[in-house]
Structure 1
């Protein structure tokens, strides 16, 4: 998971961090009686809904921020290296 979130993506980042920490806890101690999988599944669904909600209502500046994001995936054939 990328740690470079834009300001409007912070709620998503916080939710993803919570999911990661719960997943790590469940991997470390599988002997726990607590079923963390259900909570992780619920949080993942919430993350998808939140992502859809945020990205459905982006302003012009937010779209520009996404387009100029340094870790935005690009196809190597579209522009030569160093451009």
Structure 2
């Protein structure tokens, strides 16, 4: 992997973590994988992880590295239930 790709991936991970913190007040997540999507298809990095201590509460956040914005959140049923219990609607 070249230096530019690594910088894009690192920046995207930070954006995903900040998104989870700011949107859902999740302060302790574990990132398990980061994947740069093929550039010819899209300008996106997908960041995978879970809530620390609750591996069943897993998620992935897709970050547009050109706009530096989280665009899509996918999650497990357990993650959704945890957000709902905290008063968040993950579908908004």
Same fold (TM over 0.5): no
**Which structure: greater helix fraction?**
1
Query: Whose radius of gyration is greater, 1 or 2?
Result: 1
TM-score (norm 2): 0.28
* Structure with the larger RCO, 1 or 2 (CA within 8 Å, 6+ apart): 1
TM-score (norm 1): 0.31
**Which structure: greater strand fraction?**
2
